[in-house]
Structure 1
Amino acid sequence: MNHLKLWTVAISLSCAAALHAQSTAGTQIDPTPHKIRFINVEKGVKLEVIDWGGSGRPLILLPGLGDTAHVFDKLAVKLTPTHHVYGITTRGFGASDAPSPVTANYSADRLGDDVVTVIDALKLEHPVLAGHSLAGEELSSVATRHPEKIAALIYIDAGYPYALYDKAHGDLVLDAIEMRNKLEQLHPGTLPSDRKQLDELLTMTRQLEQVLQQRKDDLSTTSLPHPINNPISVAMLDGQKKYTQIHLPVLAIFNIPHSPDHLRTMENQVKAFETQVPQAKIIRIPNSNHYVFQANEADVLRDMNAFIGSL
């Protein structure tokens, strides 16, 4: 098995619970009143930006892996009475340009930079960012590196390890990516030369062993996830980064999953937000699914409007 396939399998094991729904859900073209423009975010890369109009504080909606901003068509128009609503289709999908599928073109911070460039191009003053699923990493990237650009964050079933690394429990993908990067730096003549370096590697090894064992235990009671083979999706997932603190106002909406292992992951993430982002407001929505903003639209609208109204 080659290097890319190894990482596709490892990432699939950890992320499939949150991401498989997106590979099976179609994205319909938005029939609602809106304007579309294309904004250059770097040389040769333009992103589709939807403007649904509205009045009030600007609100930017970011779709999850494989979706376009049109996935928010019904939600967006119901937010326009109190917000000026925009959507950004992530590079690599829909009408946005798709640079070559290498990690540098799709890393978490590269995607975050795209959002900042759009904010600047539209001359928006402190918008609220709301993201679904993997878009949580874009929210955390912008909040961590450019907090002065935005007012608040709304994670719509998007508060998983790619958005906030759980320091208490670790994460298979993020720990494995970090270990891989550390090991790739080791060459003859550059092996660890002091105890501190060795201690760091040993700590990382033990953490990775722990999460691998947990994954093995989970696989004894759950079916194998569907592999994620799309090269752009693989590059994006391989570009995840550890974000551990966020200092802006946060609303984190979680769908309560049905399987015990996924429920444990969700509750661990809730605890991570409570511990590492103590100002976060946490909402759990039962009897829903990963597309909670569609399955429980009224609940999500109520919680978003109340949160933004409190800023």
Structure 2
Amino acid sequence: MSFQLLVRIVVATLLCSRVWAQTSQPKSDADFSPHEVRMIQVEPGLRLEVLDWGGTGRSLILLAGMGDTAHAFDTFARKLRTNYHVYGITRRGFGASGKPEFVTANYSATRLGDDVIAVISALHINRPILAGHSLAGEELSDIGFHHPDVVAGLIYLDAGYTYALYDQAHGQVLLDGLKLREMLSQLVPGNIPTDVPKSLNEIEEQLKLLEREIAEYRSELPPTPTGSGQRAAPPPYLYAIFSGFENFPTIHCPALVIFAEPHDFGPTQDYSASRAAFEARDLRITEYQAKAFESQVPSAHVIRIPHASHYVYRSHEQRVLQEIDAFISSLPN
């Protein structure tokens, strides 16, 4: 099995709850709220769409989930600008922002995090609070791990999953596979490490870890669909983004981490055993990640909101606003 195929399968299954929940929600990209639109250059030839809803108080920057744009926050931002100066950034590859080639180097965690830092610098914003939904947890953690002094705090809106924090207690097959790929590059002539026996031992241990995770993963695979129809090709950005994940062991700044637990996936006419297994598995993975933040990130305040949707800032808007206000008021000026 090719590594690219492994990534695609893992994305489609292990992370399907968040991807399915996000793409099944109606998009809110209509440009109906009052704001100023700027196109900010983050590297030569590449500009990102940045929305400025105005407001008074500390600067708060909103980052949307995968497939969404900053306009996903049009309604929510209007509620926030009473107490904060609110901005939103549309990630590269989406909406009106520039769309470089969909390859890993252009969409890695480092690259996406650096884009956010470039916007902060261009707008001359001093230590803003970043709030991100879903996949935006990747940008939050990249900044919180590598550049914590750039921000005053981070807010994860059902965004604390594999891309945001590596669960050291349970591991994760995609991240451990990415790590193994990096380790195997040490066997290439010209890149061989000084201590070859040590390197080989580490590779062997990583192989054993991944073998155990793959066995568990295989046992949870859904039945192979029957029929002759071809599976639809994944969107081109999917591999570029997911193959660029980083293994974040912690973050180094204050964080409010909100989980929808359990997720509300909406009504179903046929509550089958497979649906029940899917929901149980999603609950287990979500709790793993919540506990990982509690144990690995001393500065994290973890909130679980029962029966919220993946778009927790929509399904439980008032609760999320209250938690944001309480968190930001606790931060030093």
Task: Specify if TM > 0.5.
Answer: yes
Task: Work out whether 1:155 is the aligned partner of 2:156.
Answer: yes
Letter in 2 for 1:181: E
Cα separation, 2, equivalents of 1:2 and 1:180: 11
Cα separation, 2, equivalents of 1:199 and 1:163: 28
1:211 is aligned to: 213
1:180 is aligned to: 181
> Per the alignment, in what secondary structure is the counterpart of residue 99 of structure 1?
coil
Pairing partner for 1:257 from 241, 246, 262:
262
1:169 is aligned to: 170
Residue pair 2:29, 2:68 contacting (<8 A) in 1 also = no
Residue pair 1:65, 1:233 contacting (<8 A) in 2 also = no
1:97 is aligned to: 98
Cα separation, 1, equivalents of 2:191 and 2:56: 58
> Could you tell which deviates more after superposition, 191-200 or 297-306?
191-200
Cα separation, 1, equivalents of 2:191 and 2:156: 41
Unaligned runs of 5+ residues in structure 1 are: none
Shift of 1:233: 2.4
Pairing partner for 1:236 from 236, 241, 259:
241
Residue pair 1:8, 1:228 contacting (<8 A) in 2 also = no
Over 3 Å counting, the alpha-carbon distance change for 1:115 and 1:190 in structure 2 is closer
1:119 is aligned to: 120
Residue pair 1:11, 1:238 contacting (<8 A) in 2 also = no
Q: Which one has a bigger Cα radius of gyration? A: 2
Pairing partner for 1:198 from 189, 197, 200:
200
Letter in 1 for 2:30: I
Shift of 1:198: 2.1
Residue pair 1:8, 1:227 contacting (<8 A) in 2 also = no
Cα separation, 1, equivalents of 2:191 and 2:126: 47
Residue pair 2:7, 2:242 contacting (<8 A) in 1 also = no
Equivalent positions of 1:36-185 (< 5 A) are 36-185=37-186
Letter in 2 for 1:279: S
Cα separation, 2, equivalents of 1:78 and 1:222: 45
Cα separation, 2, equivalents of 1:298 and 1:217: 40
> Could you tell which deviates more after superposition, 17-26 or 88-97?
17-26
Cα separation, 2, equivalents of 1:85 and 1:231: 31
Cα separation, 1, equivalents of 2:189 and 2:232: 35
Cα separation, 1, equivalents of 2:121 and 2:188: 42
**Residues 164-216 of structure 1: per-residue CA shift (max 9 Å, x gap):** 11111111111111112222442368778643212211221122122222222
Residue pair 2:13, 2:221 contacting (<8 A) in 1 also = no
Cα separation, 1, equivalents of 2:6 and 2:162: 20
**Residues 34-85 of structure 1: per-residue CA shift (max 9 Å, x gap):** 1100000001110000001100000000001110011111111000010000
> Per the alignment, in what secondary structure is the counterpart of residue 160 of structure 2?
coil
Q: What fraction of aligned residue pairs are identical, expressed as a percent?
A: 49
1:270 is aligned to: 290
Residue pair 1:38, 1:48 contacting (<8 A) in 2 also = yes
1:13 is aligned to: 13
Shift of 1:227: 7.5
> Per the alignment, in what secondary structure is the counterpart of residue 219 of structure 1?
coil
Residue pair 1:54, 1:85 contacting (<8 A) in 2 also = yes
Letter in 2 for 1:17: S
Shift of 1:252: 0.3
Name the TM-score, length of structure 2 as normaliser: 0.87
Over 3 Å counting, the alpha-carbon distance change for 1:6 and 1:171 in structure 2 is closer
> Per the alignment, in what secondary structure is the counterpart of residue 281 of structure 1?
strand
Residue pair 2:28, 2:74 contacting (<8 A) in 1 also = no
1:282 is aligned to: 302
Cα separation, 1, equivalents of 2:120 and 2:323: 24
Residue pair 1:228, 1:234 contacting (<8 A) in 2 also = no
> Per the alignment, in what secondary structure is the counterpart of residue 299 of structure 2?
coil
Cα separation, 2, equivalents of 1:201 and 1:13: 26
Unaligned runs of 5+ residues in structure 2 are: 226-230, 264-278
Name the TM-score, length of structure 1 as normaliser: 0.93
Over 3 Å counting, the alpha-carbon distance change for 1:305 and 1:266 in structure 2 is same
Cα separation, 2, equivalents of 1:219 and 1:109: 31
Over 3 Å counting, the alpha-carbon distance change for 1:95 and 1:288 in structure 2 is same
Cα separation, 2, equivalents of 1:179 and 1:125: 38
